[in-house]
Each structure stands twice: as C-alpha cells, then as structure tokens.
Amino acid sequence: MIETNDTNLIVEFIKIARPSSTHLNEDEYKIKKTNSFNCWKIDSGKLIKVQSEHVGIIFDEECYIVQWRFDLQLDNHVAEKMLIYYWSGQNAVKASCPLPPDVDKDFPVDRLTQWSEIPLFFHGFQRKCIMLNGKESDFNGVKPHLFIIRGEHPDDIHLYEVPCETPSLRSRTSFLLVNPRMSVFIYWHGYSAIEEYKDYIKACAPHNLLKTWQKDWINFSISECWEGQEPKAFKDALGPFLYDINSAVNMEIHRHWTPKLYYLNNVCGDFTSTEVEYPLKLPNKVSPYPFLQSHLYTALKSAFFLLDNYYDIWLWENISQLNDDSQTMQKMSRDFLNNYHKEKTQKCNIDIKVSIVEAYKEPQEFKQLFPQWRDRH
C-alpha cells in the first residue's frame, strides 16, 4: 500500500518522513540510507534502463519507472523497503506501467506527474534531477536551454526546462542557462532571490549532471550573473531582453513572502474557500512560486481562485457559461475578495492593489506569479 499524506509517504502502513525533517512524530520514520536507485524509460510498453550516471535526466514527453530500495530506521531495527514511482511528463502520452523484472506485478506504484512531485521523489535522486522538454531522441545539444531552479531545501533542488526567452525569467528565483554556442553555463539570480537558496544551488551544482550526460558540454565554463547585469552570452541566448520581469522587484518584503491561493466554490450549496497546498512546502521556509497554472485550469469549468501576493490580491475567474449559478458564484467570490482585502489592509496596515482577472486574458503581471505560464486560446 502506498498513500500520500501531506509531505510524508505511507508505505506498508509505515509513515516515511521527509528526509530533511528535523522533527519526527512518534509514528514517523526516516530513511537511513539508499541501497539502490534505478530508472527506466518506457518505450512502446518496454523498459529501457537509464545509465546510472545519467539517472536524473528525464523528458517531459516521456514516462519513466523509478525503483528505490532503501533502509528504514524503525524503533529497534533496520528494515529494507522499496518504492516504485511511475513518472509521466507534462506532455507525455500516458503509457502502460511495466515493472522491473524483479518486482511482483501486484506491487503498489506511486504515480506522479510533472510539476506535482512529492518531496520524497526528489530526495531519491540525491540533488540530481533535471527535466527537459521533448524527447531524448529529439534533443538538440547545440541550441541554448534555460532551466528554472526549484526547491527550498538542498535535497529538494530540481530543474525544469522553460522556454529560452526573457518572459520565462522570474525575479524571485534563480535559473541555469546552457549556451552551447558560447560554451558556457550561466547561473542567473533574480533581484529578489533569497541568498540562502543561492547557496543551496552552488552546493548542488546541477550543471555537473548535464556535463556528464552531454559529453560535448564537459569543458564548458561556469559563470554567475544577477538581474540587470547580464553578460552578452546570456542576452544573446534569450533574445530581446526585457527588464519588467516581476512587478515586485523593488519590494524587499517579497523576498520573505509565500503567496497564498484559495479555491472558491459553492459545490455543496455553501460558499467555501479552500487554501491550495504546496507539496514541497517546508516550515519557516519561503516558497516564491508555489502554485501552477494547472491549479487554475484543471478545476471545474466555472472556477474562481483568489491569489494573495502580499501587496496585490487577484481574483481569477473562469466562467464557462453565464447563468444564474455562475453569476451567483461570481457575486459571492467578489464579496469574499472585498472582505479579504478589507481585513488584510487593516491587519497589515499597507496599501493593497486588488485586480480581477478573466481566464485566457491574464496580464503579464499575473502570469509572472507562476513558475511557468503557457498561453491558452
């Protein structure tokens, strides 16, 4: 049996705590050591084993099986346990789920999709997990590639490839650019990126995995730059350069603020607001971009969300059909917005901007509150 519970995973009725946890409850246990960690790509229903030195390189149009054997420290003994993940990229065609030959066909599998992985998944990769666009067979090692760096703990660090253009940049985090034409890896840090997280990135050095995977990149130099001080190799790779990356760029409070997202609905007859959880959230740590575009667009056809970004509050509306129900829900949501704004203004004693956003017509300022945004039509 596998069950997800907040940031923990329950395996065979044993609650496995996040390895980075500093405090354990009585019923929680931590992984003592990894015994083996293997990865297979699924191709036409068959498993193709990923070379051990390339484990952690995965593509968003493909599906993978990950097998993790580890020792679990129980009360008075150590027991070996196993986890099997089925990971599917955001653009992958869902495939069958064959299991490694040494695993019983009835063994429980934890299914994960890109951008919604649990912390334990990244811990198994030991700070080496980079997700690229497309398929490995189509990868172009000559053109530039841009990666957003995610994770608020060194063991959670992972990279997602994003479009190599300036609108992809975010002031509150860091990115890695690979520019093969200039033979360089460039770490870019936004104006409001947290210093502690920059140190995590340096310790993890994700470029080393890319060097191991792409032999033509092994002798690339490594450099670092900051928002507004980009070298030519960075600007040339991203095209026309824009400096309006984040509306909060000059607001120091945003360095230490985690946005909040609320799903608003009246499905059961009563209006409710439910805070959306971020699976990688850590106590006393800032999550600059915890929410995804998919949080909004995978809800019901008529959906309403409130996004609190400290100095600005947004009400996002997606009304599929204008009828009595949707108009009632819209009125209730806007009343909630007004009350939320009033209470927060009184509590924080600050000026707060309020905006209402229509689905499919989001302004750039709103899009930049998410780690990645793809325009829908």
For 24, 260, 305, 307, 362, the CA distances from 357, given in Å and listed in that order, are 42, 16, 10, 11, 6
Tell the residue number behind the tokens 């051990």, with chain if given. 52
Q: What stretches of the chain show up as alpha helix (H) in DSSP?
A: 119-124, 195-204, 207-213, 232-238, 293-297, 324-348, 364-367
Please give, one letter per residue, the 3-state secondary structure of 65-107: EEEEEEEEECCCCEEEEEEEEEEECCCCCCCCCCCCCCCCCCC
| Whole-angstrom distance, CA of residue 197 vs CA of residue 16 | 25
- Residues near 174 by Cβ (< 8 Å), separated by ≥ 6? 149, 187, 188, 189, 190, 193, 197, 198, 201
Predicted confidence at residue 8, as pLDDT, reads 56
> How many Cβ atoms are within 10 Å of 52's Cβ, its own excluded?
10
Please give, one letter per residue, the 3-state secondary structure of 109-124: CEEEECCCCCHHHHHH
Predicted confidence at residue 363, as pLDDT, reads 94
Question: Amino acid letter at 8?
Answer: N
Predicted confidence at residue 254, as pLDDT, reads 63
150 burial type by CB count under 10 A (0-12 exposed, 13-18 middle, 19+ buried): buried
Which two structure tokens, joined as six digits, stand for 351? 């000026």
For each of the domains in the chain, give its residue range(s) and CATH number, in order of start. Answer: 1-52+62-120 (3.40.20), 140-246 (3.40.20.10), 257-367 (3.40.20.10)
Residue 368 sits at φ, ψ, to 5 deg, of -75, 0
Predicted confidence at residue 113, as pLDDT, reads 92
Helix, strand, or coil here: 314? strand
- For residue 38, what are the β-bridge partners? 67
The predicted model scores a pTM of 0.91
Predicted confidence at residue 283, as pLDDT, reads 83
For 151, 231, 256, 284, 368, the CA distances from 253, given in Å and listed in that order, are 20, 28, 6, 15, 17
Walk along the chain (377 residues) and give the pLDDT tens digit of each residue: 444 444 556 666 577 877 666 666 767 778 889 999 999 999 989 999 999 999 999 999 999 999 999 998 887 888 899 999 999 999 998 878 899 988 988 888 999 999 889 888 998 998 899 999 999 999 999 999 999 999 988 988 999 999 999 999 999 999 999 999 999 999 999 988 989 999 999 999 999 999 999 999 999 999 999 998 999 999 999 987 655 555 444 455 567 889 999 999 987 778 999 999 998 888 888 999 999 999 999 866 789 999 999 989 999 999 877 788 889 999 999 999 999 999 999 998 888 999 999 999 999 999 999 999 998 76
Predicted confidence at residue 160, as pLDDT, reads 97
Predicted confidence at residue 5, as pLDDT, reads 42
Residues 271, 277, 278, CA angle at the centre, nearest 5°?
155
